[in-house]
Structure 1
Amino acid sequence: MTTDRAATADSTGTVFPRGLLFVLSGNMLLDALEVSVAVVALPSIGADLGLSLTALGWVVSGFALGFGGLLLPSGRLVAVLGRRRVYLAALLVFAVASVLGALATSGPLLIAGRFVKGCCAALTAPTGLAIIADAFPAGPARNRAVSVYSLFGAGGFSAGLVLSGLLTEVSWRWTFLFPGPVALVLFLFGLRLIPGRAPGEEPEPQPPVRSAVLRYDVPGAVTFVGALLALAWALTRGPGAGWADPLTLTGLLPALALGAAFVRIERTAPRPLLRTALIADRPLLWSALGAAALNGSYLGFLFVVTFDLQSGLGWSPLATGLGLLPASLPLAAAVATGMSGRLVGRFGPAPLIALGAWAPPAGYLWCLAAGDHPSYASSTLPALLLVGLGFVLQFAALNTQAMSGVRHADRGSAGALYQTSVQVAGALTTALVASLLAAGADGARRTALVLVTSVAVAGFAVAVAARAPRRGANRTVVPARRDD
């Protein structure tokens, strides 16, 4: 295993490899930046490349679709090729895709680059956490490393809003270019610092090609990604062309067929990407749905607000980035101070989720009530603050509840399922919001906000349902299932 010479001992005497944590956290920061830097730059991108609102929606959704689509297969790829090889390759491809995206002269090239970067993030984000679990001994050292890693992820979104605002003032291309050199630097450090396989971990024996296709569930991965892409394409076309339009149906019908094929494949595959038994895990399912609604409604709302501020009120990109901070900065502060973890430890996840679930839909309803020409101070700012409150109360609680009853052997798959639902919801909601706005009908903005509010209300309903005891269930408090 590659060792990290940039290591110190913490107060307990435990060795703490700072260089390795720098690489892993730096890459996590880039992954978190990717969504927010694109949101603020959207109006400038559209004006420069002549892109419609629908295409601009894909600039955001492309990254999320790549991220969500490859999360389930990513664990299998890492098991086959090894953590070091996959992590470093993804970092290098991310750097190249950043440069190509910044040089893109058309929407399809830019969107393709965003999709590739999302795939890279799907390979590095969970792998980075797994590397931390092996490189840092259990106890204070690992807890500290995970806290730093989480802080870079939570703070990255907020930092991206400001950074994108600053760079877009010069050119939107800088917002897509700057991650490239940073990723390249991390790659060079990673060549020395990223460890190989965990101690005692042996590479999986490689079966013949035909057997490998089934063993590693390639059909499952292909049908899953295909279903997502077909559904997203249909959603972007439906509001403008009509849901009964032949081309719209050519997206919806394959999405349904591929989705059904994925379910069938997973039920019969010798080593499925997703064990169907996980879907029956109630805390995991409710948490995944709640987190999906929280993230999906938020990204859709940011899309609307960005154009409200820049196109409607004439705000600069920097002012827009600063104006969007009230929704994301409280979460970064809560993670940095450890408040999120302390709240979950004191009150438990379920009460916090129920307490926070009302805030985002209330904020969106507030914005809806303001009409088509909202004031930032009286409409948008209160909505953003309510959304921020919802994230502070729910973010850590949803993560904790999702894993509360999952066996140790299933935690990787459960985490991938949870994050997949978060990313896919963000991609699909943003795509549909963009297409509703692009349709240009009277009240298009209001219709888009109604969709955002409906997604958030669905999240509130999930939180209420999760709190309700099942009929006939034993109400005696029992410990969570032990890890196997």
Structure 2
Amino acid sequence: MSIASGARAGARWALVAVLAANMLVDALEVSATLVALPAVGSGLGAAVTRVQWIVTGFAAGFGGALLLGGRVVEWFGRRRVFLAALLVFAAVSLGGALTDRLDLLVATRVVKGFCVALTAPTGLAIIVASVPAGAARRRAVSVYSLFGAAGFCSGLLLSGLLTGAAGWRWTLAFPAFVVSALFAVALRVVPREPGVPGGGARWRAVVAGGALTSAVLLLVDALASWRWGSAGAAAVAVLVCVRAERASPRPLVNTALLRHAPLVRSALGAAALNGSYVSFLLVAALDLRRGGWSAWETALGFLPAGAPLALTALHSGRIAARLGPARAVAAGALAAPAGYALYPRSGAGGAQYVELLPSMSLVGLAFVLAFTALHLQATGSLPSGLQTAAGGLYQTCVQLGAALTPALTAALYAASGRSAALWLVTAVGVAGAGVALAGLAHPSNDPS
């Protein structure tokens, strides 16, 4: 019997608790590794251009596999995919913490990104299928969203504590124990569902999804290491993906969505915002460590950049509705580069917490204003039948921004130092602001 068809309310909320807790773990993966990144680099003797893979590999696995992940869930069912992804996530978390080889650690990060591409959207789908429509479902979705927003702050604090007190390996290993416990509970509370009959042309979807992921990974390598061979191989992978998509009777990307201006603007704006945000914190983490800051001090310094989103998560939709999505996006997109520009240019060696506060606070404000509004702007004016597909394409672009921009930023940081890297981050933020301001010129497309 499914939960939706008559199980107790307590069982429903046990399910929501497991799914929300897993969403929190998924969300903390980026912030935890950003704080721990300098310690990992020191521990493994890796240069910035190599150690950045710990962040970008995760985002590449997530973004590259997200569209294919939705199809995998259709083929094998929500329960089986969710449980399998939890097991793999726990195993590779422990493996990454134990290895002394950076290439193996990066491989575990890519696999974890793929697992999150399966669990994050599937968790929400399980809630929608298992909790009755109405107030109960609205509360469940709110809890799920709140835990996702709180994950970034949790990752900062957890990484600051564990990296400083026990070492970076415990920061990477900690999710394995949490997710293993969640798996044990999920076996009991995640409802079973009828098997989904297999459709044709699965291999084309796998080829397209695999080629897309390969293209992203190769582009990250090309940007981080200035390898033209990787750039050429990425172009070939893109062609393979396009050919597989064109030959498929049901491609991963609905090409009609690429002609929808609000979606395209939102996807580009979100990629610029998320990419510049992660890149900014990457530069700051390396800079603060060079200036003598501990992992815990860095985590506290980053907190104003993440806490506002967690504190306003339940109200973000109302904020976007009050301002109008296009205006909220524009305000947030302007706040982000302003924050980047205010980062202390004199160097972190003499920087104090109060000097970081204006910069980090503006970056946090940017996410409060723009992140939910971008999603609303991307999908709000589309027919309901296309919103799920549009959401997947939008989230893919969000993660691709977090994979590609930090790779180029790390290369510039290694070659020319902090100042040049910050100029790049600010330029990407300004480009995102330009896209957002263009949206103000098209009020008819604003779903408000």
The TM-score normalised by the length of structure 2 is: 0.94
For 2:198 and 2:103, the matched residues in 1 are separated by: 39
Q: Which residue of 2 aligns with 1:455?
A: 428
Q: Which residue of 1 aligns with 2:318?
A: 342
Q: Which of 292, 297, 304 pairs up with 1:319?
A: 297
* Matched position secondary structure for 1:272: coil
Q: Which residue of 2 aligns with 1:161?
A: 156
C-alpha contact 2:4 2:132 (8 A) present in aligned 1: no
Q: Which residue of 2 aligns with 1:190?
A: 186
For 2:15 and 2:280, the matched residues in 1 are separated by: 36
Greater CA drift, 183-192 or 217-226: 217-226
Cα deviation, residue 408, structure 1? 2.6
For 2:4 and 2:301, the matched residues in 1 are separated by: 41
Cα deviation, residue 206, structure 1? 5.0
Q: Which residue of 1 aligns with 2:266?
A: 287
* Matched position secondary structure for 2:154: helix
Q: Which residue of 2 aligns with 1:24?
A: 19
Greater CA drift, 71-80 or 400-409: 400-409
1:221-248 Cα shifts (integer Å, max 9, x gaps): 122112111111111111xxxxxxxxx1
1:348-404 Cα shifts (integer Å, max 9, x gaps): 211111122111111112227556866244643211111111111111111111111
Query: What is the count of residue pairs matched by the alignment?
Result: 447
Unaligned 5+ runs, structure 2: none
Q: % of aligned pairs identical?
A: 50
In the alignment, does 2:124 pair up with 1:124? Answer: no
Q: Which of 191, 198, 202 pairs up with 1:205?
A: 198
Cα deviation, residue 290, structure 1? 1.1
For 2:408 and 2:317, the matched residues in 1 are separated by: 34
In the alignment, does 2:338 pair up with 1:359? Answer: no
1:243-265 Cα shifts (integer Å, max 9, x gaps): xxxxx111111212322332343
The structure-2 alpha-carbon separation of the partners of 1:315 and 1:6, relative to structure 1 and needing over 3 Å to count, comes to: farther
1:143-174 Cα shifts (integer Å, max 9, x gaps): 11111001111000011101101001111111
For 2:410 and 2:33, the matched residues in 1 are separated by: 14
Higher helix share: 2
In the alignment, does 2:93 pair up with 1:114? Answer: no
In the alignment, does 2:237 pair up with 1:237? Answer: no
Equivalent residues in 2 for 1:12-51 (5 A)? Answer: 17-51=12-46
C-alpha contact 1:161 1:321 (8 A) present in aligned 2: yes
Greater CA drift, 369-378 or 179-188: 369-378
Cα deviation, residue 63, structure 1? 0.8
For 2:38 and 2:54, the matched residues in 1 are separated by: 11
The structure-2 alpha-carbon separation of the partners of 1:478 and 1:26, relative to structure 1 and needing over 3 Å to count, comes to: closer
The structure-2 alpha-carbon separation of the partners of 1:23 and 1:5, relative to structure 1 and needing over 3 Å to count, comes to: farther
Q: Which residue of 2 aligns with 1:85?
A: 80
For 1:464 and 1:401, the matched residues in 2 are separated by: 13
C-alpha contact 2:56 2:403 (8 A) present in aligned 1: yes
For 2:420 and 2:344, the matched residues in 1 are separated by: 10
For 1:150 and 1:437, the matched residues in 2 are separated by: 34
C-alpha contact 1:436 1:448 (8 A) present in aligned 2: yes
Q: Which residue of 2 aligns with 1:389?
A: 365
Q: Which residue of 1 aligns with 2:96?
A: 101
The TM-score normalised by the length of structure 1 is: 0.88
For 2:126 and 2:421, the matched residues in 1 are separated by: 41
* Matched position secondary structure for 2:342: helix
For 1:191 and 1:377, the matched residues in 2 are separated by: 45
Q: Which residue of 1 aligns with 2:57?
A: 62
In the alignment, does 2:255 pair up with 1:276? Answer: yes
* Matched position secondary structure for 1:182: helix
Cα deviation, residue 456, structure 1? 0.4
User: 1:320 is aligned with what amino acid?
Assistant: T
User: 1:457 is aligned with what amino acid?
Assistant: V
Q: Which residue of 2 aligns with 1:251?
A: 230
The structure-2 alpha-carbon separation of the partners of 1:479 and 1:374, relative to structure 1 and needing over 3 Å to count, comes to: closer
C-alpha contact 1:27 1:186 (8 A) present in aligned 2: yes
Unaligned 5+ runs, structure 1: 10-14, 239-247, 470-474
1:167-225 Cα shifts (integer Å, max 9, x gaps): 0111111101111111111111111111223xxx6512355xxx4323xx222112211
Q: Which of 391, 405, 424 pairs up with 2:400?
A: 424
The structure-2 alpha-carbon separation of the partners of 1:370 and 1:76, relative to structure 1 and needing over 3 Å to count, comes to: same
For 1:467 and 1:204, the matched residues in 2 are separated by: 45
Q: Which of 296, 319, 327 pairs up with 2:275?
A: 296
C-alpha contact 2:163 2:295 (8 A) present in aligned 1: yes
User: 2:76 is aligned with what amino acid?
Assistant: L
The structure-2 alpha-carbon separation of the partners of 1:480 and 1:46, relative to structure 1 and needing over 3 Å to count, comes to: closer
Q: Which residue of 1 aligns with 2:419?
A: 446
Greater CA drift, 284-293 or 257-266: 257-266
Q: Which residue of 2 aligns with 1:226?
A: 214
* Matched position secondary structure for 1:358: helix
Cα deviation, residue 462, structure 1? 0.6
For 2:375 and 2:362, the matched residues in 1 are separated by: 20
The structure-2 alpha-carbon separation of the partners of 1:141 and 1:16, relative to structure 1 and needing over 3 Å to count, comes to: farther
Structure with higher Rg: it is 1
Q: Which of 404, 410, 414 pairs up with 2:386?
A: 410
In the alignment, does 2:174 pair up with 1:178? Answer: yes
Greater CA drift, 257-266 or 136-145: 257-266
* Matched position secondary structure for 2:419: helix
Cα RMSD for the two superposed structures = 2.2
For 2:253 and 2:64, the matched residues in 1 are separated by: 13
C-alpha contact 2:381 2:445 (8 A) present in aligned 1: no
User: 2:190 is aligned with what amino acid?
Assistant: I
Q: Which residue of 2 aligns with 1:472?
A: none
In the alignment, does 2:70 pair up with 1:75? Answer: yes
For 1:6 and 1:480, the matched residues in 2 are separated by: 36
The runs of 4+ residues in structure 1 deviating greater than 3 Å are 1-9, 368-374, 376-379, 477-481
